Amino acid sequence: MLGYEEIKGQLHTKWAARNLVYKDVTGSTNDDAKALGEEGAPHGTLVVADVQNKGRGTRGRSWENPKGTNIAMSLLIRPDAPPDKISMLTLVMGLSVAEGIDSAVGKNVTSIKWPNDVVINSKKICGILTELHMNPDNTIGDVVIGVGINVKLKDIPESIKDIAGSILSETGKDIDRSFVVASCMKAFEENYEKYIKTYDLALLKEQYEKRLINIGKEVRILDPKGEYEAVAEGITPNGALIVRTKDGTIKEVNAGEVSVRGLYTYA
């Protein structure tokens, strides 16, 4: 069951989710975490909800979250990092959710589709939306990392049928959602400690690339300036995707404006 006591009882972290807010229904956990941040909520505050009525994805996309099936959560952090190093946190969270799901399921079932989608059998299980809030003096106020995880979703809404799956639909395992939250927070806390040593992914790159589904495979780069196909080779310490184009040129693709697809499946 997803709930305050259930999460707290399974949480083995120093700071992540120690300040925990649970709601059955909310508009958007990212908006809730942002408001708490403005009120001075501490680093590591986590807002968790069963249902989100106004869940958002990147670039104004929507996020589906039917009752009783998924996890919507947003972690508020206060990194003492340069603002240009913040976008990498989205990869840190993607990696942490993948590791958290694997430890909750008890075996390695997840992969990562660059930059931060967690997939099982090429189906998208998790989406992440990171929002940076600046202070008026141009320092970082806080960062909110929103995470949607499909845990028990079975009747997949028509709009996402081709790309989406859940832990249950792809592994047959019915995992306790509170346990998944606690496992992901444990993994994030450990990975974040590595991130702040260098303010990049130098210490996480190997772990990340091991799970990267795109590596060595042809991908289609959906660049608004023109689509092309290339082979993915890995990531830079800053989290860009390194690709080799057909004429042998090596390029670095930055997350943000660009989407990546497998040639035959979503991932």
Residues that bind ligand ATP (CB under 6 A): 57-59, 61-64, 117, 124, 127, 129, 148, 150, 160, 163-164, 259
What's the one-letter identity of residue 120? I
Comparison of 124 and 211: residue with beta carbon closer to ligand ATP: 124
Comparison of 47 and 167: residue with beta carbon closer to ligand ATP: 167
The residue number with the shortest CB distance to ligand ATP is: 57
Q: Using an 8 Å Cβ cutoff, are 115 and 22 in contact?
A: no
CB of 241 to ligand ATP, least distance (A): 12
Comparison of 11 and 166: residue with beta carbon closer to ligand ATP: 166
CB of 115 to ligand ATP, least distance (A): 8
- For the four alpha carbons of 148, 149, 151 and 152, in that order, the dihedral sign comes to positive
Comparison of 26 and 43: residue with beta carbon closer to ligand ATP: 26
Q: Which stretches within 212-246 are classed as H helix?
A: none
Token reading at 194: 């590595």
Token reading at 64: 């589906």
Comparison of 150 and 214: residue with beta carbon closer to ligand ATP: 150
Q: CA–CA separation, 228 vs 221, rounded Å?
A: 5
Element (H, E) at 77: strand 70-77
CB of 267 to ligand ATP, least distance (A): 9
Comparison of 74 and 259: residue with beta carbon closer to ligand ATP: 259
Element (H, E) at 133: strand 123-134
CB of 110 to ligand ATP, least distance (A): 14
CB of 253 to ligand ATP, least distance (A): 12
Q: CA–CA separation, 144 vs 188, rounded Å?
A: 13
CB of 111 to ligand ATP, least distance (A): 14
CB of 86 to ligand ATP, least distance (A): 17
Can you tell me which residue has the tokens 């028509």?
Answer: 158
Comparison of 41 and 97: residue with beta carbon closer to ligand ATP: 97
- How far is the CA of 44 from the CAs of 16, 21, 193, in angstroms? 4, 11, 12
Burial (CB < 10 A; 0-12, 13-18, 19+), residue 24, is: exposed
